[in-house]
């Protein structure tokens, strides 16, 4: 009898476990899909927040870069105005700037010919220059 009691008990346990699996598996699948959906939603929200923060950082960077460029231009403008005034006007400043450029590039490769502007603003052409001389 003992063998029959163990067998009936085993069958009852297997039936209960089987019923739990049949009832629990669909419920677990629904729960699992719900959790996966919530996780995907949270990931999308987080990705959107990251994109917004990156865009805000790019905007802030562009604004600061623009402000820096404006300040640099103001500084250059002020320096040019001071130089022009100290040299006696814009024409003298341009002449000084041209001479300064000639000093900086003197002796560098590719600077064998220097064009000097005339009063009309046109360079004197090298019509008389001959190759090989």
Q: Tell me whether residue 28 is in a domain.
A: yes
pTM for the structure as a whole:
0.47
From residue 101, give the alpha-carbon distance in Å to each of 34, 55, 111: 73, 43, 12
From residue 27, give the alpha-carbon distance in Å to each of 18, 40, 103: 14, 20, 87
What range defines the domain where residue 58 resides? Answer: 2-105
More confident residue, 28 or 122: 28
121 DSSP 8-state letter? S
Q: Tell me whether residue 79 is in a domain.
A: yes
pLDDT confidence bin for 117, thresholds 50/70/90? low
More confident residue, 43 or 2: 43
Per-residue pLDDT at 24 exceeds 90: no
Domain count, the chain: 1
Give the pair of three-digit tokens for residue 126. Answer: 């090298």
What radius of gyration do the chain's Cα atoms show?
A: 43
Q: Tell me whether residue 112 is in a domain.
A: no
* pLDDT recorded at residue 3: 56
Q: Tell me whether residue 101 is in a domain.
A: yes
User: Dihedral, CA atoms, 40, 42, 48, 51, nearest 10 degrees?
Assistant: -100
Give the range among 55-59, 109-113, 123-127 with minimum mean pLDDT. Answer: 123-127
Q: Tell me whether residue 115 is in a domain.
A: no
Strand partners, 123: 117
Give the pair of three-digit tokens for residue 48. Answer: 């959107």
| Nearest to 116, CA basis, from 131, 95, 89 | 95
Q: Tell me whether residue 24 is in a domain.
A: yes
With a CB cutoff of 8 Å and minimum separation 6, the contacts of 111 are: 105
Q: Tell me whether residue 90 is in a domain.
A: yes
Q: Tell me whether residue 100 is in a domain.
A: yes
Give the range among 41-50, 81-90, 113-122 with minimum mean pLDDT. Answer: 113-122
| Averaged confidence pLDDT in the chain | 83
Q: Which segments within the chain are labelled E, that is strand?
A: none
């Amino acid at each position: 009898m003992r063998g029959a009691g163990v067998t009936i008990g085993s069958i009852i346990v297997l039936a209960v476990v089987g019923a739990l699996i049949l009832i629990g598996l669909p419920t677990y699948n629904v729960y699992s899909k719900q959790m996966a959906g919530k996780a995907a939603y949270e990931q999308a929200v987080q990705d959107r927040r990251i994109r917004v923060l990156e865009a805000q950082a790019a905007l802030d960077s562009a604004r600061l870069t623009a402000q820096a460029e404006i300040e640099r231009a103001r500084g250059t403008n002020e320096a040019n105005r001071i130089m022009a005034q100290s040299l006696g006007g814009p024409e003298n400043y341009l002449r000084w700037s041209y001479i300064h450029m000639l000093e900086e590039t003197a002796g560098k490769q590719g600077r064998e010919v220097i064009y000097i502007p005339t009063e009309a603003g046109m360079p004197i052409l090298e019509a008389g220059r001959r190759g090989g001389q």
